[in-house]
Amino acid sequence: MTAGTAQQALRLGRHCFAPDQRLVMGIVNRTPDSFYDRGATWNENAAMARVHAVVSEGADILDIGGVAAAPGAPVDVAEEIRRTVPFVGAVRAAYPDLVISVDTWRHQVGREACRAGADLLNDTWGGQDPELPAVAAEFGAGLICAHAGDQAPRTRPFRVAYEDVMADVLDRTLAQASRATAAGVDPARILIDAAHDFGKNTWQSLEVTRRLGEMVATGWPVLVSLSNKDFIGETLDAPPDRRLTGTLATTAICAWLGARVFRVHQVLQTREVLAMVSAIQGERPPARTVRGLA
Amino acid sequence: MITSAALCPWPPLLVRELTGADPVLPELRAACAGAVAALLRDRPEVVAVVGPGTGTVPWPADGRLNVAAFGGPRVAAPCPARPGTEGAGRPVLPPALGIGTYLLDQAGYAGERLIWSVSGDEPVAGCRKLGADLAGSDARVALLAIGDGSARRGPRAPGHFDERSHAFDAEVERAVRACDTRALLDLDPGLARELMATGRPAWQVLAGALEGCTGLSVEVLYAGDPFGVAYLVATLRPS
């Protein structure tokens, strides 16, 4: 592992997580068109059922999103608020202590979401709206600073080239983290994310995975969002519904290299992988050990 | 004088190492190799490579493609050489021009090169003049025009779908097949930019270079959009 600045405690909502705690963020899409669930939780009842399921499976954080990452029908601010904010309020009422993240690049949405009880803003498109950090600061919320290269929201990478992809990831995410700190966001509530597939081809996503230790060495807590993504699909030549094995393998590698938060569709399986990694690293004991010991 | 010209797109997947185990579009790779081979058969003294870049400027003749900018297999021991390192020491070109020189390298071309990037904002007149200047050379110049049609030809395309894309690309193909330089010069830079059609500047340089040429025979070696980007490979040579 790369030597560097030591990891500190991560504060999210009312919680304080130690550096050796690995957190699972369960994805709940309030969209009709997200690539993996294809609208499965577009209906509010289905979405709340999904929340109950991922919480019971051990999710520490929920990530609620109202706009699919892929190009598609435009979703304006009012519609994004309509999709996400009342739902954030409903989840908050049902789970007063659960960490709630909202996946948005727009400060107007972030503000309403924080008012409704969100603890964390997931700025997946990499700082497109310069006013977002001030909103996080205003509400004492956290901020995820992601790398999307030069990609505008909801666009696909087109022949994206980097002199050094990890250097670009570090430049941009650290600059955003500095801006967030300057805007008044609590540094203990800031995470960085390489944002696999965003502004990257498969080779570049594989490289940032291989070199994830360089992000961890910055001292900022690292979130990875790998779940069923195209770089896994292209690596294994697998459609979205056959990417779980690849997702979990990548999850194990990222955990080993020091990632602390895992944004996923499959919470239970991810929890088990993380438990194995923590046990192998000696950070957490196995659940029960009697083999050869009786 | 222009001896002959060729059009090639520049998807990075033309570099075989970048597509993983699957060769992905070997027919496109073969078409581009065929177009460059045809260009060189006319025994040019200079090959001019023109393609999109951030400015309209000449580049060092020994410039190369930086394959590593697109990633690639750089850890695996079985790979004989890390792609992109074989040209270490040569200056790095914008990717489109890099692909152009890569095609020349692959064809074994060791002669003189003239390399120009043309800005996506370059007005038609500027493109036309650059073409005329290249054609005005005393040397026998072969022109390799690098660029693609729209990258917005369907819902899975890099730029998603724009309903104007198909008509735009069809007109380009028609103009190339007819060697209709006037029609190529009529392509609208603003529309081309909106459609993510990177070929517009180089095609207008080509039109400027070939204006007034007669008796060219056109061969289209590839026209298709398997990934939502229009690729056109063609040669224009004396009949």
CB-based contact, B12 to chain A, within 8 Å: yes
Euclidean distance between CA atoms A119 and A142, whole angstroms: 6
Statement: residue B125 has pLDDT above 50: yes
Domain borders along chain A are 10-281
Exactly one of A83, A172, A260, A263 is catalytic; name it. Answer: A263
d(CA A100, CA A64): 8
Q: What does the mean pLDDT of chain B come to?
A: 93
Q: How far is CA A78 from CA A69, A72, A83, A108, A115, in A?
A: 18, 17, 9, 9, 15
Which of A76-80, A156-160, A273-277, A281-285 has the least mean pLDDT? A281-285
Give every CB contact of residue B170 below 8 A, 6+ residues apart in sequence: none
pLDDT surpasses 80 at B93: yes
| B70 touches A: beta carbon within 8 Å | yes
Q: At residue B85, does pLDDT exceed 70?
A: no
Among A47-51, A254-258, A280-284, B182-186, whose mean pLDDT is lowest?
A280-284
Q: Which residues of A140-161 are buried (b: 16+ CB within 10 A; e: fewer)?
A: ebbbbbbbbbebebbbbbbbbb
pLDDT at A123 over 60: yes
Q: Is residue B76 over pLDDT 70?
A: no
For A206, the closest of B10, B69, B71 (CB atoms) is B71
Contacts of A235 in chain B (CB under 8 A): 20
A72 interfaces chain B, CB cutoff of 8 Å: yes
A229 is catalytic: yes
Q: Is A234 on the interface with B (CB under 8 A)?
A: yes
Q: Which of A32-36, B50-54, B66-70 has the highest mean pLDDT?
A: B50-54
pLDDT average, residue stretch A213-242: 98
Note whether A203 contacts B69, CB cutoff 8 Å.
no
Tokens coding B20:
């993983």
Domains and CATH numbers, chain B: 2-238 (3.40.830.10)
The listed CATH number (3.20.20.70, 3.10.20.30, 3.20.20.20, 3.50.50.60) that belongs to domain A10-281: 3.20.20.20
Q: Give me the residues paired with residue B64 across strands.
A: B92
Measured between beta carbons, the chain A residues lying within 8 angstroms of B154 are: none
How far is the alpha carbon of A149 from chain B, nearest alpha carbon, in Å? Answer: 13
The amino acid present at B90, given as its one-letter code, is: R
A206 reaches B (C-beta below 8 A): yes
Question: Is A207's CB within 8 Å of B159's CB?
Answer: no
Interface predicted TM-score (ipTM): 0.81
Q: B151 and A158 in contact by Cβ < 8 A?
A: yes
Residues of chain A in contact with residue B16, where contact means CB-CB under 8 angstroms, are none
The listed range with the strongest mean pLDDT (A40-44, A195-199, B20-24) is A195-199
**Residue A207 with chain B: CB contacts under 8 Å:** 71, 74
Q: How far is B19 from chain A (nearest CA, A)?
A: 9
- Put simply, whether B11 touches A (Cβ < 8 Å) is yes
**Catalytic: which of A172, A229, A243, A260?**
A229
Average pLDDT over residues B143-163: 96
Classified as helix, coil or strand, A257 is: helix
Query: What kind and span of H or E run contains A39?
Result: none
Question: Is B73 buried (19+), middle (13-18) or exposed (0-12) by CB count in 10 A?
Answer: middle
Q: What is the pTM of this model?
A: 0.90
B-chain residue closest to A211, CA distance: B75
pLDDT confidence of B164, banded at 50, 70, 90?
very high
Residue B20 contacts A where some CB pair is shorter than 8 Å: yes
What is the tens place of the pLDDT at every residue in A62-112? 999 999 999 988 999 999 999 999 999 999 999 999 999 999 999 999 999
| pLDDT of the residue at B88 | 64
Cite the DSSP H helix spans in A95-164.
107-115, 132-139
Helices assigned H by DSSP within chain B: 26-41, 95-106, 124-135, 165-177, 181-185, 189-194, 200-210
The answer to whether A202 contacts chain B (CB < 8 Å) is yes
Q: What torsion do the CA atoms of A129, A135, A141, A143 make, to the nearest 10 degrees? A: 20
CB contact under 8 A, B69 and A210: no
pLDDT at position B74 is 62
pLDDT higher than 50, residue B80: no
